[in-house]
């Protein structure tokens, strides 16, 4: 192939993948061309687990930890995957390279997959599936809003009990989370915090929550996803000599907080300036929150956390 032809193909690929790339179970395709079988149980019954990892400035952030958690999730659901963990890792790297995205939101999921239509309740005959996609980095709270903090409510919708759905397996059972988010939007807030059936804080739609009281970090220890960003907060707090612990966080403790922030892959550490219309930290991001926020993004330049993408 001539140099001119190679350059033309690169330009064509760049246009096809300009919105992102996806893995459809067998090959990498432009995201708008990705399809899943309509009888996949991940789609029909929400019989699926997933994970989300970020790419920042051309490198995955904490890819190993995300892949390890993903492995625990699909093993917890009893899935026998069609690819090894190493193969799935390479698919993610190749997919992002194909997309050319330097800052990306990368989703992966494992589904119960395709049933034998002659015997659809025979789980041993299911063909498990792996799908993934990469799009431009998604901000749950955009950087400009993070500078001033955001507004949240305590939802009237309780979190699904862990006895019903294991929250440590990142899942698509978002009925409660979506209802809580809709409630927040109707009340003019950005998002919502959910309590368990005993009135203790759990998490929000796609994020963990930290409360700061008297200089100490508290985060719920039950009925929550063990977030990778949450893990990073614990590590940064230790480096910064800030006491941090996972424990029960009653509603009264949440309301008495000096500072509150939420954290997730899609946005990092995000300060809260009001809870149910009551100002937190004087209605602005608190000092400890912002120290952690700065340290979190600085960690994105630390080689120990990074897996570079080979864009060739």
Instruction: Please state, in angstroms and rounded to a whole number, the distance separating the CA atoms of residues 265 and 278.
Output: 27
pLDDT tens digits, residue range 69-81?
A: 999 999 999 999 9
DSSP tag of 204:
B
Per-residue confidence (pLDDT) for residue 222, from 0 to 100: 97
**Cβ–Cβ under 8 Å, residues 158 and 200:** no
For the chain, which ranges sit under pLDDT 70? Answer: 1-12
Instruction: Give residue-wise pLDDT tens across range 88-114.
Output: 999 999 999 999 999 999 999 999 999
Q: Tell me which residue of 226, 207, 191 sits closest to 72, measured CA to CA.
A: 226
Helix (H) or strand (E) holding 184: helix 175-186
CA distances from 40 to 45, 74, 282 (A): 8, 16, 49
- The string of DSSP letters for 282-307 reads GGS--HHHHHHHHHHHHGGG-GGGEE
Residue 150, φ and ψ in degrees, nearest 5: -125, 170
Residue 265 and residue 247: Cα distance in Å, rounded? 22
Cα 289 to Cα 85, 192, 210, 245, 263: the distances in Å are 35, 19, 9, 15, 11
Instruction: Please give the model's pTM, rounded to 2 decimal places.
Output: 0.94
Query: Which residue segments constitute the domains of the chain, with CATH numbers given?
Result: 3-138 (3.30.470.10), 143-300 (3.20.10.10)
């Amino acid at each position: 192939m001539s140099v001119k032809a190679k350059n033309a193909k690169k330009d064509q690929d760049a246009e096809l993948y300009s919105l992102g790339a996806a893995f459809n179970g067998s090959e990498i395709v432009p995201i708008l061309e990705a399809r899943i079988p309509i009888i996949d149980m991940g789609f029909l019954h929400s019989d699926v687990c997933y994970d989300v990892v970020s790419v920042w400035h051309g490198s995955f952030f904490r890819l190993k930890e995300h892949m390890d958690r993903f492995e625990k999730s699909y093993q917890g659901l009893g899935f026998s995957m069609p690819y090894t963990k190493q193969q799935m890792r390479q698919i993610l790297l190749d997919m992002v390279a194909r997309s050319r995205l330097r800052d990306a939101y990368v989703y992966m999921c494992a589904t119960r997959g395709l049933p034998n239509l002659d015997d659809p309740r025979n789980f041993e005959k299911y063909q498990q599936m792996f799908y993934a996609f990469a799009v431009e980095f998604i901000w749950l709270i955009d950087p400009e809003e993070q500078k001033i903090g955001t507004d949240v409510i305590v939802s009237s919708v309780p979190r699904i009990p862990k006895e019903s759905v294991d929250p440590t397996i990142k899942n698509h059972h978002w009925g409660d989370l979506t209802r809580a988010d809709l409630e927040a939007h109707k009340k003019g807030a950005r998002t919502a915090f959910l309590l368990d059936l005993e009135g203790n804080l759990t998490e929000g739609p796609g994020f963990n929550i930290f409360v700061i009281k008297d200089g100490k970090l508290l985060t719920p220890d039950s009925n929550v996803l063990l977030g990778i960003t949450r893990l990073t907060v614990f590590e940064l707090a230790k480096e910064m000599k800030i006491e941090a612990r996972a424990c029960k966080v009653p509603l009264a403790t949440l309301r008495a907080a000096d500072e509150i922030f939420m954290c997730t892959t899609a946005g990092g550490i995000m300060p809260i300036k009001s809870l149910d219309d009551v100002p937190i930290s004087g209605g602005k991001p608190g000092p400890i929150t912002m120290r952690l926020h700065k340290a979190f993004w600085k960690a994105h330049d630390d080689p120990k956390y990074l897996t570079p993408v080979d864009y060739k």
